Amino acid sequence: MSAAAHAVSEGIGIAHLSHRYPGAAAPALDDVSLEIPAGSSFGLLGPNGAGKTTLLSILMGLQRPQSGTVRVTGLDVARATRRVRGLSALVPQDQAFYLQLSGLENLRFFADVYGLSAAQWRDRLDYVTRVCGLQELLGKRSQDYSGGMKRRLNLAIGLLNAPRILYLDEPTVGIDAISRQVIIAAIQALRATGTTLIYTSHYMEEVEAICDQIAVINHGRVMARDSTANLLHQKAGKTLLLRFAAPPGSAALAALAGWSPVALPDGQYELMLRDAGQLALVVEACRAHWLQIEQLQFGVSRLERIYLELLK
Amino acid sequence: MSRSALLACIRKELLLLGRDLHGLALLFLMPLAFVLIMSLALQDQFATQAGAKLAVLVTDADHSPASADLVKTLTGSNAFRFVTDDTAQDATLTDRALRRGDYAFAVLIAHGYAGNLLGTPAAGAPPLVTLSVAPDTSRQMEAIFEGSVRAALGRARMGALLLGLGGNAPAEPATDNAIGLHYAYASDTAGRAAAVQPTAVQQSVPAWLVFGAFFVVVPLSNTLIRERQQGTLRRLRSTNLGTLTLLLGKLVPYFLINQLQVVMMLLAGRYLVPLLGGQALQINGAWWLLAIMAAALSCAALGLALLVAVTSRTTEQATLLSGTGNIVLAALGGIMIPKFVMPAAMQSVAAFSPMSWGLEGFLDVLLRGGGLREIAPEAGGLTALGLATILLAWLLQSRRSD
């Protein structure tokens, strides 16, 4: 068996998975097949209602697939549900803990539910509070935490049983920059330990930073599946990123229309060139319209653009 | 089923309830308040001598020895508070006083009473005695009072008849020694016969104890529904926590809460009600009979609570359903209105309320001196209902994907 094939057999294999909820017009999952190598950091992207949460539920053994097979670390999820769950943990997008309990009481409760021994509990408590930056908060009732702190506690609970596979369902939605940084750093630290991460998010920068593999799913179907590097590279040779000193007027944008300019959330503009030879033409067009270029990057692609194109 | 997971669930549930002030007030303060209020408010209804008696206005328009005799016989009864006022002969004013609530009844002895006592009143002539009834006087009291007026009038006629025949009227009412009064009350724990009085506290404590026990539905269902809404149930399932452990983790702590409620209500009836001027609860029967009833009651209350929790979508829905349901069960089951004042048809409907089973079971022990055989139907019914609803809730929860 090759090294790659072995990694997949210890990772996650999904074959022809379909699922339709009773009364639903369209299937939530429609013939989904994916291979996720062990130890990889896998981004599962898609708009709301694309089927991501259903896929996570089936991978965790919380829902039975109507057709197809799912193997996690070589185990058939439908037959070895309890063993599969024992290897995994879920960090849901909701704050799935008890607001009336303190951080420590929540962690203790979930540790007992996982069946951790006293020694394991001490070790894991030390680890999760350090990694998630919860040391100062443990004694406080979690209802008094900020949104970001609650997200950190949500993640910490998911790390208690040292899972081999961690499912993160939008773990940073709606939080402040510091808490996001703490959570992303904690997830990066997990990557280093060889934990397989399945990560869903609408924040493409995070996915770019965290995930080495990506699948885009929409209407229950896989639209694209590749390594992050490959996806970004596909269009990288043709992409020009420009930052102007002042926002361009409509006449200037009309002059650039031939390169399909797209305004990005960070204020930059992305243009698609046929080749590097067109760079001079773009610069000339900007100068003709008194557009002062502050920053110019060629050959760099952005996941957000690729994602939106795939969903078109 | 993991023991550590079950213990963790029990501990968590107790912590959550301990921090839920509304839930604690509902489970402990609400039934306690009802026990105190109802025990004190209803004590006159159960007392044999004391209490606010119904007021009766007596007007003698005849001013004869015969009418004076009738007034004496009527006012000799200590069941009512009589006010004699011979000037109150204006029917309009009397009616106004009755409507104002000054009196429950007004008795007018007509002018010419003595002369017509043995004869038949002519057509259109006023009756010998007119009885006026206030609008808020119960029909039951009206019947009792009318009976006592008829008895007094009959005795007056009998006396007049005997005098006419040359005999003597009886000096004392004939019934005083002829009727023996026996109370079929249970003996107390010391074996004293007829020692357990049917006092207000003896009725109120079991009634409101049963009512309070069924209110576990509110905190229990709220916790489960919040767990579902916040995704905690989904997370717990992902940790391999089974439905049985999840539900037992709720049933065990609330069972303990129910037992604590029972003990607290009994102690309140025993020690707190007398401090406030009421009578003390007499705790009769073996403690294990009370324990059986408490366990059976809790079983039914928890089963219904779990069923509401599993089937309701929101906490508002569960609170509305359980609050309304409990009040209907209490009204039907004789908690709010004693069953003995209900008409026969309502009493048969009451038999369908599990609160009625609980109440009857506790009254069997506390008031009627019943044993295991007496409480078996009620305890059995409550346990069967509890087990059936717990099983149904378990099946429904197992089928849910959240």
**Partners of residue B238 in chain A, C-beta under 8 Å:** 60-62, 85, 88-90
> Digits of tens for pLDDT over chain B (402 positions)?
678 899 999 999 999 999 999 989 999 999 999 988 888 877 766 654 444 578 899 998 888 888 888 888 888 777 788 888 877 778 888 888 888 888 889 999 988 888 887 777 667 777 888 999 988 887 888 888 899 888 888 888 888 888 777 766 655 555 556 666 666 666 555 555 555 556 788 888 999 999 999 999 999 999 999 999 999 999 999 998 989 999 999 999 999 999 999 999 999 999 998 898 888 888 777 889 999 999 999 999 999 999 999 999 899 999 899 889 999 998 888 888 777 777 788 888 888 899 999 999 998 888 777 889 989 999 999 999 999 999 999 999 988 766
Q: Please, which residues have CB within 8 angstroms of residue A51's CB and are 6 or more apart in sequence?
A: A28, A29, A30, A32, A217, A219, A220
Check if the beta carbon of residue A109 is closer than 8 Å to that of residue A98.
yes
Residues 122-181 on B with a CB inside 8 Å of A are none
Domain extent listing, chain A: 3-232, 237-311
Hey, is the C-beta of B17 within 8 angstroms of any chain A C-beta? Answer: no
Task: For residue B80, give the H/E element and its range.
Answer: strand B80-84
Q: Is B98 exposed, middle or buried (0-12, 13-18, 19+ CB in 10 A)?
A: buried
Q: Supply the ipTM of this predicted assembly.
A: 0.80
What pLDDT does A4 receive?
A: 43
Residues A62, B4: C-beta atoms closer than 8 Å: no
Residues B241, A113: C-beta atoms closer than 8 Å: yes
Residues B235, A60: C-beta atoms closer than 8 Å: no
Equal CATH topology for A3-232 and A237-311: no
pLDDT tens digits, A209-249: 889 889 999 888 988 888 888 877 776 567 888 899 888 88
Q: Give the distance from residue A101's alpha carbon to the nearest chain B alpha carbon, in angstroms.
A: 7
Does residue A1 have a pLDDT over 70?
no
Does residue A55 have a pLDDT over 50?
yes
For residue A2, name the pLDDT band (cuts at 50, 70, 90).
Answer: very low
Burial B367-386 (b: 16+ CB within 10 A, else e): bbbbeeebbeebbebbbebb
CATH number of A3-232: 3.40.50.300
Average pLDDT over residues A38-63: 89
For residue A150, name the pLDDT band (cuts at 50, 70, 90).
Answer: very high
**Partners of residue B230 in chain A, C-beta under 8 Å:** 94-97
What pLDDT does B151 receive?
A: 87
What is the rounded distance in angstroms from the CA atom of residue B302 to the CA atom of residue B292?
Answer: 15
**Partners of residue B5 in chain A, C-beta under 8 Å:** 112-113, 115
pLDDT tens digits, A255-310: 999 988 888 877 888 888 888 888 899 999 999 988 899 988 887 667 777 777 77
* Helices marked H in B19-101: 21-24, 30-41, 43-46, 65-75, 91-100
Residues A115, B5: C-beta atoms closer than 8 Å: yes
Hey, is the C-beta of B400 within 8 angstroms of any chain A C-beta? Answer: no
Query: Would you list the DSSP string of B130-174?
Result: EEEE-TTS-HHHHHHHHHHHHHHHHHHHHHHHHHHTT----SS-T
What pLDDT does A144 receive?
A: 93
What pLDDT does B295 receive?
A: 97
Residues B239, A96: C-beta atoms closer than 8 Å: no
* Start-end of CATH 3.40.190 domains in chain B: 53-164
Does residue A5 have a pLDDT over 50?
no
What pLDDT does B173 receive?
A: 54
What pLDDT does B175 receive?
A: 54
Which residue in the set A97, A105, A114 is minimally distant from B15, CB to CB? A105
Residue of B24, B239, B244 to mutate, interface with A, max A Cβ within 10 Å? B239
Hey, is the C-beta of B244 within 8 angstroms of any chain A C-beta? Answer: no
What pLDDT does A310 receive?
A: 74
pTM tops 0.90: no
What pLDDT does A264 receive?
A: 80
A237-311: CATH class: alpha beta
**Partners of residue A56 in chain B, C-beta under 8 Å:** none
What pLDDT does B184 receive?
A: 62
What is the rounded distance in angstroms from the CA atom of residue B188 to the CA atom of residue B39?
Answer: 20
The answer to whether domain B53-164 has CATH 3.40.190 is yes
In the block, tokens 């003595």 appear at: B114
Nearest CA in chain A to B20: A100
